[in-house]
Amino acid sequence: TALISGSAIFIAVFGALVFASGSVSDLVLGADGSAEHFKIIFLTMMFFGGIEIPLVFLRAQQRSVYFVVINLVKLIIQLSLNIYFIVVLQWGIAGVLYSGLIATIAVGCFLTIRTLFETGIKFSSRIFSELLYYGYPLIFTNLGAFILTYSDRYFLKYFSNLSEVGIYSLGYKFGMMVSILLLAPFQQFWAAEMFAVAKRDDASKVFRDFFTYSTFFSI
């Protein structure tokens, strides 16, 4: 149910953005933008549901080795295509985007088929309603977090140029390395484990300790 409904939502939302890629490009980058680049990005996101939801399923099953292998395979495919498209074909930015698109489609199709083979093709309107009821508030929090994190690029572009945005984004990535390398693995584990922990007698203590330490290391 989660895979079918989630994939349908990804396809519907980002499929619509594919057709609006020109307008989005003008809004975000102005005359410096490329509608073709945005179109590739939105096409990639259309197939992202076929990766993200099965990976969450793997984490819920605590199949960490399989999870790492899948991500490693996707990384190898993407890096190999990057080298071919950028070095050999000289495609530049488009080469990076097409690499992501192809790797996402390939791995997404594999994970979708594997997940459906394991769970069967079933859809429950009751489960979908529960997922929607639980998840829809998170849409607004994630949207707010996205705006808070990335809106500064828009203003920097408006008052400066894309070169400054690129330098700023590079420095930002270095600043986020601690979070990505140290906190992200624990957060991915916690997302799958927290519901089981909530049923334990010492749930309050575990939750308190987790958020205390994660906040400390984040700061």
DSSP string of 43-85, one letter each residue:
HHHHTTHHHHHHHHHHHHTT-HHHHHHHHHHHHHHHHHHHIII
User: For 23-81, what is each residue's pLDDT tens digit?
Assistant: 887 777 766 557 888 899 899 998 888 888 888 888 888 788 888 899 899 999 999 99
Q: Give dist(CA 71, CA 67) in Å, integer.
A: 6
Whole-angstrom Cα distance, residue 26 to residue 56? 35
> What are the residue boundaries of the structural domains of the chain, listed by start?
1-123, 160-219
pLDDT digits (tens, 9 = 90+) for 88-125: 888 888 898 999 999 999 999 999 999 988 888 888 88
The pLDDT, as a whole number, for residue 103 is 93
- Higher-confidence position of 111 and 161: 111
Q: Is the pTM higher than 0.85?
A: no
Judge whether residue 175 has pLDDT over 80.
no
More confident residue, 132 or 214: 132
Q: Count other Cβ atoms within 10 Å, centred on residue 67.
A: 19
CA end-to-end span of the chain, whole Å?
38
Q: How many CA atoms, within 13 angstroms, populate the side-chain half-sphere of residue 33? A: 18
**Mean pLDDT (whole number) for 177-206:** 77
